[in-house]
Chains A and B, each alone.
Chain A
Amino acid sequence: MNEWHVADLEKWDDVICQHVDDIGLSCFPQEFEICDHNQMLGYMAYSGMPSHYPHWSYGKSFEKLKTLYDHGVSGLPYEMVINSNPSIAYLMRDNSLLLQILTIAHVYGHNDFFRNNFTFRTTNPEYTISGFKSRANRVRSYIEDPTIGLERVERVLDAAHALSMQCRRNLAVRKPSELEHRADALKSAEPAKDPFQQIHKRAEYDPPDLRKTPTQPDEDILLFIRDHNPYLSEWERDLLTIAHEEAQYFIPQMETKIMNEGWASFWHHKILERLDLPTDLHLEFLVRHNQVVCPHEGSLNPYHVGIKIWEDLEKQCEGDDLAPLFAVRESDRDSSFLRRHLSEDLVRELDLFQYGPQGDDLVVTEVSDEAGWQQVRDSLIANTGSNLLPTIQVVDADHDGNRTLLLRHDHDGRDLHPQYAEKALAFVHQLWQYDVVLDTVLGGQPAHLTHGERGFSVQTG
């Protein structure tokens, strides 16, 4: 049926591994699993994990993927790699031999990136699979527990999923504990050292309010509710933890989409060029590679933008020494990668533009000429990874002295989607069980969205 056997793949893989080693990629051990399209759909719906807890949203996503696939709207990816140690990659059974070769090389690019990029340092890849499995077992045990049951588990998970991305995004920076926050607060309230304190009037000491919870605004909404709502049961707290942990797993991938895809494409290209492919395979390679990294006019192909930047960086390297590239793949994420390495020339070459709605139309508001390219680049950064998620912090757990939870949206010029904010706030209220207030800005006006006993209301001005 296939033009290849697993033995062929192993043979090519040996050669590829030699090149991977030569060019200096450093990878986790790699496992490849051949799967058919149904299994691939399943892996896609469950983020590639062999085991995952059940929730209807994954059924929805499966259904959606399958519909798109069945109607030929979108194909399936040739591969899927998960960030674990050993790394696991799924290869589609229907791929041609060349596609498998290309994909294997591509997978090593991702593998190296997962292993070396700083955003993945905190993901504990040794425990990825077992973590997902343990969470799946816990959720199943709550569902099967006759005192809890599917409906209640689902209700908590629905709310937790809505808020799980409202968390700290830069995981490489350690989160200070509450005690450290307090110590900091005390320290910073102390008056500055004064060498002439003998003769000066003693500086006023303004004691910080240590009763306030949280001492510093907290972005981890789920964890905050878990730790500060005493009315939650143990299983509810655990579900919040589960949703939070899952989100933490995805954040590094969101944060490095362009870099990571660019890096893998850059290297699969390099490796396949070194492979000495027979002519027919080489021609197919050129065609496939182009399909993967071609620009998508009117939208944005992260493979294309990514590989362009890496190629641009390669040109700046002196001779054959690609060490600067390896340094960048270690210490950047998409935001910094774009800010530092997406040059004016490149923005122009890619013809990136910024657009927005005007009436019913989407209209170009900025183009990449001398006056506009920085704006376009910054706008691209704002639309990348976790920058697409609004930053909302817990400011006060006892607002107005009646346990109202006060949240503040850090408004960066973009308004929240009002209907979504209303529903999401309802979920905060469901978990917090007391009133919740969200301070934000809508249409240039300060707005306070409240969700509580008396339902939802908006106060502006």
Chain B
Amino acid sequence: MPPPDSVFRPFRSSDAERSDRAAGDRARHRDKVREAIRENIADIIAEESIIGQDKNRIIKVPIRGIKEYRFIYGDQSPQVAQGNGDTERGQVVGKQGDGQDGAPGKAGDQPGVDYYETDVSLEEVIDLMFEDLELPDMERKRLRQIESERNFKRQGFRQKGIRSRLDKRRTARSRVRRKLAGEEPRSNGPTDRFPFHDGDLTYKHITTDIRLESNAAVICIMDTSGSMDSAKKYLARSFFFLLYQFIRSKYQNVEIVFVAHHTAAKEVTEEEFFYKGESGGTMISSGYKRALEIIEERYHPTLWNVYSFHCSDGDNFDSDNADAVKLAEALTNACNLFGYGEIKPLGPRYYESSMLNVFRRLDADNFQTVLIERKQDVWPSFKALLAKERVPTGPEDE
């Protein structure tokens, strides 16, 4: 047997540059990932961990849609690994489903065991969420924009204009250019007068630049009375999260205010809002009153797009209902959108009172109510809320 023939092909950077052969398949895969996220968006939103997170945070989204399924053996099957010399029967060598840190059963080593998760930033998920809503353009028009600045900006040059905007330098240059172009070669004779023409005159062009300031304030009002337990607060939080994210995607500057109420209301921090429990009864009007005060003080509706949302379990003192409706009406006048979400984790029939009935009396286009029973409801009710808002009628359109 003669020694083998061999050839070496040296590295060529031109090949390397052309060699992004996986680009098409990667794009296709990426599409499928997005598709899968979109399909599971309701589950992802129902996932506790993403709510209230920094938008740049990377979250792991398990992608079911793009696993490559095959016939494989289940994870109960025994396997073999190598020990350090004194392995004994009954010794624990790892945790099930623990593919990392060198533990036995490294998932990637077995064919077909697909532990694929994809990293998506929260921002991306939010984009996909709102893509899913398919909001038409008229949505944006409806959101109030306020002309905050009127600037004058130079933009190019024109042949016509008012005298004060004449650009002397360009005008002179234009004349010189015309003169040189028309000159006979090597004519060194006494130069004639060479006046400016109308065509030489160049004016600065000024446009007015209107900056639309889009400020929005989200006022989250929540019932923190004794009956609002952590399960209810969690549902409320999910809803507030969506609202906040949505509004943030539409405005440059969004501020968020938390108003907690039981029989009295006060402005609190996010932390207190979601985690601090109070006791006692509920007077919804107190929360609305505080919200109106805050709007009056800091977020006047002529300058701010105000979105208020109130979550409660609807267990209000009967005596307070009339006040609540009156103040809710005041809120609908001050806000772009005012919503009321009733959280009933055990289903509506289980609870005696409901504010949903009381609020029937309130007739305003920008007032919406939703009922949330389970975390799976959060996304659909949010969608429903916005779908209603989409109808292009209402006082603000005039």
Which chain B residues lie closer than 8 Å to A353 at the CB level?
A: 80-83, 87
Return the CB mask of B16-42 against A: 1 if under 8 Å, else 0: 100111101111111110000000000
Which chain A residues lie closer than 8 Å to B68 at the CB level?
A: 57, 60, 161-162
A355 x B78 contact (CB < 8 A): yes
Which chain A residues lie closer than 8 Å to B70 at the CB level?
A: 161-163, 165, 420, 424
Query: Can you list 19 contacts pairing A with B, beta carbon distance less than 8 Å?
Result: A20-B3, A20-B4, A36-B13, A42-B21, A56-B25, A56-B29, A108-B4, A296-B102, A299-B105, A304-B82, A351-B83, A353-B80, A353-B87, A355-B94, A362-B94, A376-B80, A417-B73, A418-B74, A420-B70
Flag whether A327 is at the interface (Cβ < 8 A). Answer: no
User: Taking the nearest CB of chain B, how far is it from the CB of A101, in angstroms?
Assistant: 13
User: Taking the nearest CB of chain B, how far is it from the CB of A424, in angstroms?
Assistant: 5
Which chain B residues lie closer than 8 Å to A392 at the CB level?
A: 71
- CA separation between A286 and B230, bound complex, in Å? 61
Which chain B residues lie closer than 8 Å to A45 at the CB level?
A: 22, 25
Flag whether B136 is at the interface (Cβ < 8 A). Answer: no
- CA separation between A318 and B89, bound complex, in Å? 38
B80 x A380 contact (CB < 8 A): yes
B72 x A32 contact (CB < 8 A): no
Flag whether B190 is at the interface (Cβ < 8 A). Answer: no
Which one of A5-13, A121-129, A234-242, A260-268 contacts B? A5-13
> Please, which residue of chain A has its CB at the minimum distance from the CB of B6?
A30
Q: A62-B26, A415-B73 are in contact. Are A297 and B84 (CB under 8 A)?
A: yes
> Please, which residue of chain B has its CB at the minimum distance from the CB of A366?
B89
> Please, which residue of chain B has its CB at the minimum distance from the CB of A68?
B108
- CA separation between A35 and B15, bound complex, in Å? 9
Which chain A residues lie closer than 8 Å to B73 at the CB level?
A: 388, 390, 414-417
B16 x A35 contact (CB < 8 A): yes
- Knowing that A363-B91, A423-B67 touch, tell me 20 more A-B residue pairs with CB under 8 angstroms: A25-B1, A34-B9, A56-B28, A56-B29, A56-B32, A56-B66, A60-B116, A62-B22, A161-B70, A163-B70, A165-B70, A165-B71, A296-B102, A299-B105, A362-B94, A362-B98, A362-B104, A388-B111, A414-B74, A416-B74
Task: With a 10 A CB-CB cut-off, give which of B2, B28, B86 has the most chain A CB atoms.
Answer: B28
Which chain A residues lie closer than 8 Å to B9 at the CB level?
A: 31-34
A63 x B26 contact (CB < 8 A): yes
A13 x B79 contact (CB < 8 A): no
- CA separation between A423 and B70, bound complex, in Å? 7
- CA separation between A41 and B25, bound complex, in Å? 13
User: Taking the nearest CB of chain A, how far is it from the CB of B37, in angstroms?
Assistant: 15
- CA separation between A44 and B129, bound complex, in Å? 35
Interface of B is mostly: loop
Which chain B residues lie closer than 8 Å to A357 at the CB level?
A: 75-76, 96
Return the CB mask of A318-356 against B: 1 if under 8 Å, else 0: 000000000000000000000000000000001111111
A299 x B71 contact (CB < 8 A): no
Which chain B residues lie closer than 8 Å to A364 at the CB level?
A: 83, 87-93
Flag whether B110 is at the interface (Cβ < 8 A). Answer: yes
> Please, which residue of chain B has its CB at the minimum distance from the CB of A417?
B74
Flag whether A272 is at the interface (Cβ < 8 A). Answer: no
B4 x A60 contact (CB < 8 A): no
- CA separation between A33 and B32, bound complex, in Å? 34
Which of A29, A86, A361, A383 is within 8 Å of B95, CB to CB? A361
Flag whether B194 is at the interface (Cβ < 8 A). Answer: no
B28 x A26 contact (CB < 8 A): no
Q: A32-B9, A417-B74 are in contact. Are A365 and B29 (CB under 8 A)?
A: no
- CA separation between A360 and B95, bound complex, in Å? 6
Flag whether B177 is at the interface (Cβ < 8 A). Answer: no
A63 x B83 contact (CB < 8 A): no
> Please, which residue of chain B has its CB at the minimum distance from the CB of A13?
B6
A60 x B19 contact (CB < 8 A): no
Return the CB mask of A36-63 against B: 1 if under 8 Å, else 0: 1011011001100000001111111011
User: Taking the nearest CB of chain A, how far is it from the CB of B304, in angstroms?
Assistant: 43
Which chain B residues lie closer than 8 Å to A27 at the CB level?
A: 4
- CA separation between A56 and B66, bound complex, in Å? 9
8 tightest A-B contacts by CB? A59-B25, A423-B69, A59-B29, A59-B26, A21-B3, A17-B3, A27-B4, A34-B11
Residues of chain A in range 367-382 having any CB-CB distance to chain B below 8 Å: 367, 372, 376, 379-380
Task: With a 10 A CB-CB cut-off, give which of A41, A162, A356, A366 has the most chain B CB atoms.
Answer: A356
Flag whether B180 is at the interface (Cβ < 8 A). Answer: no
Flag whether B5 is at the interface (Cβ < 8 A). Answer: yes
Flag whether A403 is at the interface (Cβ < 8 A). Answer: no
- CA separation between A320 and B92, bound complex, in Å? 45
Which chain A residues lie closer than 8 Å to B92 at the CB level?
A: 361-364
Which chain A residues lie closer than 8 Å to B66 at the CB level?
A: 56, 60
How many residues on chain B are close to A (CB under 8 Å)? 69
Flag whether A18 is at the interface (Cβ < 8 A). Answer: yes
A28 x B3 contact (CB < 8 A): no
Flag whether A301 is at the interface (Cβ < 8 A). Answer: yes
Q: A351-B87, A354-B78 are in contact. Are A420 and B71 (CB under 8 A)?
A: yes
Which chain B residues lie closer than 8 Å to A380 at the CB level?
A: 80
Which of B4, B82, B116 is within 8 Å of A17, CB to CB? B4
Which of B24, B71, B82 is within 8 Å of A301, CB to CB? B82
Which of B28, B89, B104, B111 is within 8 Å of A298, CB to CB? B104
A54 x B90 contact (CB < 8 A): no
- CA separation between A400 and B8, bound complex, in Å? 61
Flag whether A181 is at the interface (Cβ < 8 A). Answer: no
> Please, which residue of chain B has its CB at the minimum distance from the CB of A45?
B22
A356 x B78 contact (CB < 8 A): yes
Flag whether A117 is at the interface (Cβ < 8 A). Answer: no
Return the CB mask of B40-75 against A: 1 if under 8 Å, else 0: 000000000000000000000000001111111111
User: Taking the nearest CB of chain B, how far is it from the CB of A137, in angstroms?
Assistant: 15
Flag whether A183 is at the interface (Cβ < 8 A). Answer: no
User: Taking the nearest CB of chain A, how far is it from the CB of B111, in angstroms?
Assistant: 6
User: Taking the nearest CB of chain B, how far is it from the CB of A388, in angstroms?
Assistant: 6
Flag whether A64 is at the interface (Cβ < 8 A). Answer: yes
Flag whether A421 is at the interface (Cβ < 8 A). Answer: yes
Flag whether B106 is at the interface (Cβ < 8 A). Answer: yes
Which chain A residues lie closer than 8 Å to B96 at the CB level?
A: 357, 359-362
Return the CB mask of A161-199 against B: 1 if under 8 Å, else 0: 111011000000000000000000000000000000000
A424 x B71 contact (CB < 8 A): yes
Which chain B residues lie closer than 8 Å to A390 at the CB level?
A: 71-73
> Please, which residue of chain A has its CB at the minimum distance from the CB of B79?
A383
Q: A60-B116, A367-B87 are in contact. Are A420 and B69 (CB under 8 A)?
A: yes
> Please, which residue of chain B has its CB at the minimum distance from the CB of A93?
B11
Flag whether B77 is at the interface (Cβ < 8 A). Answer: yes
Flag whether B112 is at the interface (Cβ < 8 A). Answer: yes
> Please, which residue of chain A has its CB at the minimum distance from the CB of B97?
A360
Q: A297-B102, A299-B82, A416-B71 are in contact. Are A46 and B21 (CB under 8 A)?
A: yes
User: Taking the nearest CB of chain A, how far is it from the CB of B370, in angstroms?
Assistant: 33
- CA separation between A18 and B1, bound complex, in Å? 11
> Please, which residue of chain B has its CB at the minimum distance from the CB of A364?
B91
B94 x A379 contact (CB < 8 A): no
